[in-house]
Amino acid sequence: MNRRVLGVVMALLAAMILFECVVLGYGESPRAVLRMLFEGTWGSGYGIGQTLFKATPLLFTGLAVQVGLRAGLFNIGAEGQLVVASFAVGWLGTKLGGLPAPVAIPLLLATAFVAGAAWALPTAILRLRQNVHEVLGAILSNRIADALVAALLAGGAAIKGTVHTADMGAGCMLPRLGAFVPALGASAASLALPLALVVVAAVLPLFRKTAIGREIVLSGSNPTASTAAGVPVGLRRGLAYVASGGLAGLGAAATVLGYKGYYEQGLGSGAGFLGLAVALLGRGSFFGLALAALLFGTLQQGGLAVNAIVPKEVMDVFAGVVIVAVAIADRWVAAVPPVKTPAAAQGAA
Amino acid sequence: MTKAIVARGMTKICDDGHPAIAGVDASFEPGELSVVCGENGAGKSTLLRAITGLIARDAGAVALADRPRTPATSSATEAPVAPGAEAALAAGLCMVQQHLALVPIFSAVENAVLFARGGLVDHAAIEALLKATLDRLGFVVPLDVPVGKLSVAERQRIEIARAVAAPALAGTKVPLRLLALDEPTAVLTPAEADGLYAVLRGIAEGGTAVVVVTHKLDEVRKFADHVLVLRRGKKVHDAPFVRADQDAAIDQVARAMLGDAHAHLAHTHRSSEQGRGGAPAVVAEGLALGALRRGTFAIQRGEVLGIAGVEGNGQGELVSILAGVARGWTGRVTPGPEAVTAIFPDRHAEGLVLDATVEDNLLLGSHRDFSGPLGLLDGDALAAEALRRARKAGAPTTLEALASSFSGGNQQKIVVARALGKSAPTVLVAAHPTRGVDVAAAAAIHQELLRWVAATPDRCALVISADLDELRTLSNRIVVLAHGEITGEFTPDATDAELGAAMLSVEKHG
């Protein structure tokens, strides 16, 4: 465990050095850029709120990818699942004008989960019945999701002349955190953040504490042996993949319900793919996922903050380098032999 | 002059800190066939893997020496062999591992190409080299078929030929100095095993030091020039095998393997009493799938039916049909898979989830029985059941350890513990239940298997094994499966020759 943490720290350091080189390449002072980055994110109440807002969908999509990984499936389709769920929530919200929040919000969250799960279902079926690789299925579903939602928006779901739906009813919005913690100001962080933390904390232990959870992990690890022992492998892995889609869909809580109040083309885009990085960095633990989501949330928000002197895409480069460096650090950590206790070494001599 | 291979102070510490081997000295002489014996987890595979560079050693040195037999200290004339598989290969040291390391979708030649070095691959030259090696060894195997479609014995022949040809494939001029084989006979019939040893003898006579890991004392008796015994990672016996006084020599080896707990492990044959009467417990008619062409047999209540046969004659298919994991088969069988508990032939593919814990492996498929309120698992009940299963079959009881951290024999015990730990099924299908397990543990597994059958009056078992002694020990009746059909029925006192003839005769007509 400690060696893994060490690997991540080394990767972050390496990414930092490269980041500074890129900034120098723009003829800017890394110090000034870093100060700007900090001031725009963790340097003010509003910045913190915006960072938390950016991190919230990543918690959902990171968890979603993690759930797929436990079943041995790589859910690169979180992006499309989130798009479909966001649209579904935004569209349904316009129909729920008069409903009070305690009814409307659970209904919308359930819709987000079901829509994301439904969008994952064909990929799961293709993978587990026809042996079509889930990455292929998911990439195709992502493209179809984008096209379908664009078509629906153009076909009447959007306000004429725009690419967004009408405002949802008043009871459909998740309250902003700024209402409870005035220091966060008018930032877009909402109750979706605590919701995300609760969901992550509730889902992760299921893999150990429930029979189905354990069977999912065992099925993902060795489907042949699990089948031979009587585990319904296809059902278990399919369930995990579909649930992964649902969790990715819940990301809409942060963007549609907590921020915009309507669905707009492109809202939340990129969160699905960043979920892969969050899961990779987070290593399946609660704190790992939370810290990874915060890191990438910081980078996203920081990109906007430094945009004045370097392009915000520099932060994407940084994020990319982090991912590659973590992957390399992983190999490196695995190659280092474990530390031996002196007692064991003595016994060997 | 060809050199001996000398290893000194070989030490390998496991991830959990205990030594797999500790300070083992060994030397292997050209022209000799050495046998390394020991119980499961004694460190046999580890020693040979460390010498051939397949795993990194924590201490110790390997060298090529002129002087014979274990000089205590190194001398100036020795050539040290650097750690690592490349250096070992460059010195002519090769190993055939227990779980064959061939790419299943590649043909034999393509697998050999993987051993070639250099930028460009001369496919034709490699094919010629492999063919010449196979011819020299007297092996006949198809070269253009994906090796995954071949039988285990055929795959093993390819792997041996590839190891023998490895120095030449890698483009070095060194001769093959050491050929190590990890339990090569575990998957072979007695006749195949004898044939293999004849080939190994030939390789040794060519000036190679041949080292074989085995559990089978019978092979020591028949073939060993020199015997090395390991127990708990230390060398406890290292001497030439004196054939003039075989019985005493074998006894010495057995004592060294088992330590003070040495018990007389004579093979006892079961009587051929025909079960408990009444309707048969299992009726199979015309089962067909792949190599299995017509599986027709019945098993009585209380009976253990042994199935002998050359690997690849439908045994694997039979197990998957009975256990309910096969698709597209024809025929009829009662009862259905819900009444069957099975030990599958390949413990890595079908038996274990290697990167899961011992507990999860012992309980694989049974977790649902321990769901409490809200669907949450009862952790204490899980651990208790896992421990019960493990203790019964002598499997590891360190429940949180990963299955991959155990030796092959201990992994097999986990597989057996799970299959025998289930109480609801009435039919046990056991394929190679003691494959790779040491003598004492095999006896314990046999006892537990028979106890399982006898526990309730309606139980029965079907045992598939390449080890005819095992079949004789367990079965009330032995049938031979050859070319996908049951071709002969024998009582447990049938001789190797009788069974062997039935196993091979049909092949000629087929």
Q: Write the pLDDT tens digit of every residue in B265-293.
A: 444 445 545 455 678 889 999 999 988 98
At residue B245, the pLDDT reads 83
Q: Write the pLDDT tens digit of every residue in A101-145.
A: 899 999 999 999 999 999 999 999 999 999 999 999 999 999 999
Examine domains B4-260 and B282-509 and report if their fold is the same.
Answer: yes
Question: Is the Cβ pair A218, B376 closer than 8 Å?
Answer: no
Q: What are phi and psi of A329, to 5 degrees?
A: -60, -35
Evaluate whether residue A323 is within a structural domain.
no
ipTM of the complex in this document: 0.83
Q: Write the pLDDT tens digit of every residue in A248-267.
A: 999 999 999 999 999 999 99
Q: What are phi and psi of A217, to 5 degrees?
A: -65, -45
The 8-class DSSP code of residue B290 comes to T
Question: Is the Cβ pair B376, A209 closer than 8 Å?
Answer: yes
Neighbours of B412 (CB within 10 A): 27
How many angstroms separate the CA of residue B325 from the nearest CA in chain A?
A: 6
- Banded model confidence at residue B75, pLDDT cuts 50, 70, 90: low
Mean residue pLDDT of chain A comes to: 89
**CB of A345 less than 8 A from some CB of B:** yes
- Mean pLDDT lowest among B102-111, B146-155, B226-235: B146-155
Mean residue pLDDT of chain B comes to: 85
* CA A57 – CA A253 distance, rounded (Å): 8
At residue B374, the pLDDT reads 80
- Banded model confidence at residue A347, pLDDT cuts 50, 70, 90: very low
Most confident of A60-69, B81-90, B249-258, B317-326: A60-69
How many angstroms separate the CA of residue A176 from the nearest CA in chain B?
A: 33
| Partners of residue A225 in chain B, C-beta under 8 Å | 344, 349-353, 364
Question: Is the Cβ pair A348, B13 closer than 8 Å?
Answer: yes
The sheet that has B282-289: what strands, in order across it? B330-334, B282-289, B292-299, B485-490, B477-482, B304-308, B460-464, B427-431, B340-343
Nearest to A221 among B323, B353, B371 (CB): B353
Nearest to B344 among A215, A217, A228 (CB): A228
Evaluate whether residue A287 is within a structural domain.
yes
Q: Give the Cα-Cα-Cα angle A49, A55, A60 (nearest 5 degrees).
A: 135
- Mean pLDDT lowest among A187-191, B190-194, B381-385: B190-194
Show the domain range for A215: 57-295
B20-49 average pLDDT score: 89
Q: Alpha helix locations (H) across B206-334?
A: 217-223, 246-258, 315-323
Count the domains in chain A. 1
B68-86 average pLDDT score: 72
How far lies A200's CA from each of A118, A192, A252, B355, B498, in Å? 21, 12, 15, 24, 65
Evaluate whether residue A87 is within a structural domain.
yes
At residue B69, the pLDDT reads 58
At residue A291, the pLDDT reads 93
- Banded model confidence at residue A61, pLDDT cuts 50, 70, 90: very high
- Name which of B8, B15, B344, B353 to mutate to probe chain A: the one with the most chain A Cβ atoms within 10 A of its Cβ: B353
How far lies A8's CA from each of A273, A291, A292, A295, B36, in Å? 20, 11, 10, 12, 44
| Distance linking the first and last C-alpha atoms of chain A | 28
Question: Is the Cβ pair A210, B56 closer than 8 Å?
Answer: no
Question: Is the Cβ pair B367, A215 closer than 8 Å?
Answer: yes
Reply yes or no on whether the pLDDT at B439 is more than 60: yes
A299, A315 Cβ separation under 8 angstroms: yes
B427, B461 Cβ separation under 8 angstroms: yes
Strand partners, B35: B212, B227
- Mean pLDDT lowest among A224-228, B292-296, B318-322, B405-409: B405-409
Question: Is the Cβ pair B349, A347 closer than 8 Å?
Answer: no
At residue A343, the pLDDT reads 40
At residue B250, the pLDDT reads 83
Question: Is the Cβ pair B364, A218 closer than 8 Å?
Answer: yes
Nearest to A223 by CA among A117, A73, A120: A73
Q: In terms of residues, how long is chain A?
A: 349
Question: Is the Cβ pair A225, B418 closer than 8 Å?
Answer: no
Nearest to B412 by CA among B356, B324, B363, B350: B350
Evaluate whether residue A26 is within a structural domain.
no
- Mean pLDDT lowest among A136-140, A322-326, B389-393: A322-326
**CB of A348 less than 8 A from some CB of B:** yes
pLDDT > 70: percent of chain A: 95
| Distance linking the first and last C-alpha atoms of chain B | 48
| Partners of residue B353 in chain A, C-beta under 8 Å | 218, 221-222, 225-226
* CA B466 – CA B468 distance, rounded (Å): 6
Reply yes or no on whether the pLDDT at A340 is more than 70: no
**CB of B248 less than 8 A from some CB of A:** no
**CB of B264 less than 8 A from some CB of A:** no
B201, B208 Cβ separation under 8 angstroms: no
Question: Is the Cβ pair A340, B13 closer than 8 Å?
Answer: yes
- Number of alpha carbons in the 13 Å side-chain half-sphere of residue A20: 11
At residue B466, the pLDDT reads 81
* CA A110 – CA B5 distance, rounded (Å): 69
Secondary structure of residue A285 in the 3-state scheme: coil
- Banded model confidence at residue B259, pLDDT cuts 50, 70, 90: low
A44-55 average pLDDT score: 94
B377-394 average pLDDT score: 91
A274-289 average pLDDT score: 90
CATH match for B282-509 among 3.40.50.300, 3.30.2130.10, 3.90.420.10, 3.90.1150.10: 3.40.50.300
B387-406 average pLDDT score: 90
- CATH architecture classification, B4-260: 3-Layer(aba) Sandwich (3.40)
- Collect all residues with Cβ–Cβ distance below 8 Å to A73 and sequence separation of at least 6: A124, A127, A134, A220, A237, A240, A241, A244
Question: Is the Cβ pair A344, B17 closer than 8 Å?
Answer: yes
* CA A6 – CA A28 distance, rounded (Å): 30
Reply yes or no on whether the pLDDT at B262 is more than 50: no
Residue spans per domain, chain B: 4-260, 282-509
How many angstroms separate the CA of residue A280 from the nearest CA in chain B?
A: 19
* CA A126 – CA A133 distance, rounded (Å): 8
**CB of A1 less than 8 A from some CB of B:** no
Question: Is the Cβ pair A348, B11 closer than 8 Å?
Answer: yes
The sheet that has B234-240: what strands, in order across it? B93-96, B178-182, B209-213, B33-37, B226-231, B234-240
Nearest to B375 among A208, A210, A349 (CB): A210
- Mean pLDDT lowest among A198-207, B35-44, B68-77, B386-395: B68-77
At residue A345, the pLDDT reads 38
DSSP 3-state helix, strand, coil percentages of chain A (rounded to 5)? 75, 0, 25
Question: Is the Cβ pair A226, B364 closer than 8 Å?
Answer: yes
At residue B273, the pLDDT reads 52
Q: Using CB atoms within 10 A of its CB, is residue A317 exposed (0-12), middle (13-18) or buried (19+)?
A: middle
**CB of A221 less than 8 A from some CB of B:** yes
At residue A336, the pLDDT reads 55
* CA B431 – CA B318 distance, rounded (Å): 10
Most confident of A191-200, A335-344, B30-39, B401-410: A191-200
How many angstroms separate the CA of residue A231 from the nearest CA in chain B?
A: 5
pLDDT > 90: percent of chain B: 29
Nearest to B295 by CA among B427, B480, B507, B477: B480
B372, B399 Cβ separation under 8 angstroms: no
Neighbours of B399 (CB within 10 A): 17
**CB of B342 less than 8 A from some CB of A:** yes
* CA B492 – CA B496 distance, rounded (Å): 11
Q: Alpha helix locations (H) across B287-407?
A: 315-323, 358-363, 379-393
At residue B71, the pLDDT reads 55
The 8-class DSSP code of residue B231 comes to E
Reply yes or no on whether the pLDDT at B96 is more than 50: yes
Reply yes or no on whether the pLDDT at B41 is more than 70: yes
At residue A30, the pLDDT reads 87
| Cβ pairs A/B, distance under 8 A | 88
How many angstroms separate the CA of residue A72 from the nearest CA in chain B?
A: 12
* CA A82 – CA B139 distance, rounded (Å): 59
B110-120 average pLDDT score: 81
